[in-house]
Amino acid sequence: MKPIHVLMAVLMAAVLAGCSASNMASRDKGEDGQYETVLKSNNSLLYSRLQIAQLNERQVGDLMQVQATLENAWKFELDFQYKFKWFDANGFELAPEGQAWRQLILPGRNQANVQAVAPNPTAARYEIWVRE
Amino acid sequence: MVRLLTIVLVAAMTVLAGCAAKVDYGDATARETVNTDFGSTDLQMIAAKMVDDMLVFPPIVQMTSQRRPVVFVDRIKNKTTEHIDTESITDTIQSKLLNSGKFRFVDMTVVDRVKEQLDYQADSGLVDPTQAVLMGKQIGAEFMLYGNMSSIVKRDSSTKDVYYKFTLKLMNLQTGILEWSGEKEIRKTRNNTFLGL
């Protein structure tokens, strides 16, 4: 196999791996009690195009409700999936198989709000995962 | 000659191995778009939307802040042209609501078997009367959960468009008042393309 073919195969594998990888955003309470946004990415392409413009939390009764404003910074339409993961104060994920991936198609240079409600009152923090 | 035969043999083995059936597990929560028929992703989207909407509706928040009302799930009327297991949708909604700690449910699908078991405990003479479950102590449902599922299908030579609308309602059995109603709309489109382009 010619070196150029090896290089193309490696590049293709990297691109395909990038397509299936996820991005994650979470909000944690810092030491000062204020929420801090934490972003993690395994998909640099999606990470550069999709941004979280704003995260809002509120208590509805004793359930946490979250709204994330997702922004497509790219000029073309983005078709991706997202899901919320919820954790209790001890870091245990709540209903780990109960949260399905939801699809969102976001036109270029546009924003959309996505919302979710914690599965039960023990939820203390959350993460938003995004993948293509 | 031997070299040629080896190449042919290796090529044949590769082709045959490629034909072998492969079974694997997948992510049950992943997006499923095999065709435009009602699928697992639709079910999960509907259940999530209904539960989230109901749990944050202010009168429901107030009603469930101090107690866990008892609900019974009636059937979802399937008004689409497809066969859809609507009980599976209500089962998922019921599980999520139950696990939220906000509602309790009575299961009307097992009433006959419960009655049979209670009759056995009371009348068979085989169960210690001091340990037997007492008759007439069950709690009646305060609310009924019911709804509709409808669809509009349109197609031409190259496109099929399916629109689903799921409506869920919560009725107070005492007063007949609808306490909450939620809707979820889903649109699925299939375009027949030439050579997948």
First vs last C-alpha separation in chain A: 31
Determine, for residues B48 and A102 on separate chains, whether the beta-carbon distance falls below 8 Å. Answer: yes
Determine, for residues B55 and A97 on separate chains, whether the beta-carbon distance falls below 8 Å. Answer: no
Q: What is the pTM of this model?
A: 0.80
- Would you state the pLDDT for residue A49? 86
pLDDT digits (tens, 9 = 90+) for A103-128: 899 999 999 999 999 999 999 888 88
**Strand ranges across the sheet with B104-106:** B104-106, B70-78, B143-155, B159-172, B178-191
**Minimum Cα–Cα distance from A122: chain B residue:** B100
Residue A8's pLDDT band (cuts 50, 70, 90): very low
pLDDT digits (tens, 9 = 90+) for B94-149: 999 999 999 999 999 899 999 999 999 999 999 999 999 999 999 999 999 999 99
Q: Report CA-CA distances (Å) from B147 to B25, B42, B55.
A: 33, 16, 17
Where do the domains of chain A lie, and which CATH numbers do they carry?
Answer: 3-131 (2.60.40.3230)
- Tell which of A117, A129, A130 to mutate to test the B interface (max B CBs under 10 Å): A117
Sequence spans of domains, chain B: 38-191
- Would you state the pLDDT for residue A33? 60
- Between positions 76 and 105 of B, the ones with CB within 8 A of A are 96, 99-101
Contact B132, B159 (CB under 8 A): no
The structural architecture, per CATH, of the domain B38-191 is 3-Layer(aba) Sandwich (3.40)
Which pairing describes strands B143-155 and B70-78: parallel, antiparallel, or unpaired?
parallel
Asked if A115 reaches chain B (Cβ–Cβ under 8 Å), the answer is: yes
**Minimum Cα–Cα distance from B29: chain A residue:** A100
> B30 by DSSP, 3-state: which?
coil
Asked if B31 reaches chain A (Cβ–Cβ under 8 Å), the answer is: yes
Helices and strands (H, E) in chain A, number of each type: 2, 9
Residue B27: how many CB atoms within 10 A of its CB?
A: 10
Residue written as token pair 């079910």: B43
Residues in chain B, pLDDT under 50: none
Dist CA A42 CA A18 (whole Å): 7
- Does residue A11 carry a pLDDT above 60? no
Q: Can you name the residues that pair with B166 across neighbouring β-strands?
A: B149, B184
Dist CA B164 CA B76 (whole Å): 14
Residue A22's pLDDT band (cuts 50, 70, 90): low
ipTM at complex level: 0.77
Asked if A20 reaches chain B (Cβ–Cβ under 8 Å), the answer is: no
B64: chain A residues, CB-CB within 8 Å: 61
Q: Which two tokens stand for residue B36?
A: 């435009």
